[in-house]
Amino acid sequence: MTDAELRSILTDRLAAVRGRMAEACRRAGRDEASVTLVAVTKTVSARVIGLLPELGTFDLGESRPQALWSKAAELGSLPIRWHMIGHLQRNKVERTLPLVHLFHSIDSERLLNEVAATGVKLGRRPRVLLQMNASHEEQKHGFDYAELRGIRGQVRSVACDIVGLMGMAALASEGDGPRQTFAELRAFWNEQRAEWPELTELSMGMSGDFETAIEEGATLIRVGSTLFEGLEGE
Ligand SMILES: *Cc1c(COP(=O)(O)O)cnc(C)c1O
C-alpha cells in the first residue's frame, strides 16, 4: 500500500471513530473535549504509526514495553504522547519510564513502588493510573476495590502523580456485561475522588465497548482493531 492509500484509510477510520465518540458524548450529555482517544498501535508498524500525528492523533498506546522502546526510537522526532497500557515487569520500568506520558497499567503496589523509586532515581515524576481488577476475574491483574480502599494512604504517599483509574470489561462479557463493569468502576472512581481529587482520569473502553465506556464516564478510551484492522502487514 502506498502512503497516500494508507493515509486515506486512516483518515476515514479516525473520522468514523471520532464521529462515534461525539455521538456517545451527545447521548451522555458530555463535552466531546472530555474524552481522549488513545490509538492502540500494538499491531502496526512504525511506518503506519508515523502517519498519525499529521492526522491529529498524538496519543498512542502500546502494550509491550519492547515494542514501545523500538517504535519510540524510530519515531523519536514526532510529537507523540506514548501510553503504556499493558502489563509491565519491574525489570522493564527503568527503560520505559522516560518514554511514557501516562502509565495505564500499574496493577500492584510492588509495581507502583518500583515506578516511584525509578522516577526518583531518574529525576522524573511518573504519571500513572491504577489498574483495577474491574471484572473481578481471578487471573486478571489489578487492584481489588476493597484492597485499594485499605491501602489508599500508603498508595497516595508514593512519589508518583496518580491521576486516575483504569479498567477492562471481561473478555467474554456481552450484552450488559461491560456497562455494569464500567458503571461499577465509575462509582468507585467517584467515591475515591470525593477525598482524592487528583484522580481526574478514567481509562476504560476498547474497540468493542468504547461507546458504552463514554456513556459511563470514561475520559480516556483505548481503541486498536477498529482503527488498524487489516493494516498489520503494512
Ligand atoms: C489491545 C488493547 C486495547 C485495544 O483493544 P482493541 O479491542 O483492539 O481496540 C485496549 N486496551 C488494552 C490494555 C489492550 O491491550
Place of cell 503496589: 109
pLDDT at residue 137, as a whole number: 86
pLDDT at 174 over 90: no
Compute the average pLDDT of residues 36-40: 98
Which residues on neighbouring strands pair with residue 36, listed in sequence order? 220
Helix (H, G, I), strand (E, B) or coil at 108: coil
Place of cell 493510573: 129
Pocket test for ligand 1, best of 222, 226, 227 (most atoms within 8 A of CB): 222
Query: Could you give the CA distance from residue 131 to residue 165 in angstroms, rounded to a whole number?
Result: 6
Quick one: how far is CA 126 from the chain centroid?
A: 15
Confidence of residue 93 (pLDDT cuts 50, 70, 90): very high
Quick one: how far is CA 138 from the chain centroid?
A: 21
In ligand 1, which atom is closest to the CA atom of 63? 15
Query: Could you give the CA distance from residue 41 to residue 51 in angstroms, rounded to a whole number?
Result: 12
Nearest CA to ligand 1 atom 7: 207
Query: Could you give the CA distance from residue 159 to residue 127 in angstroms, rounded to a whole number?
Result: 10
What is the pTM (predicted TM-score) of this model? 0.96
> Which residue in 103, 170, 111 sits closest to 140, CA to CA?
170
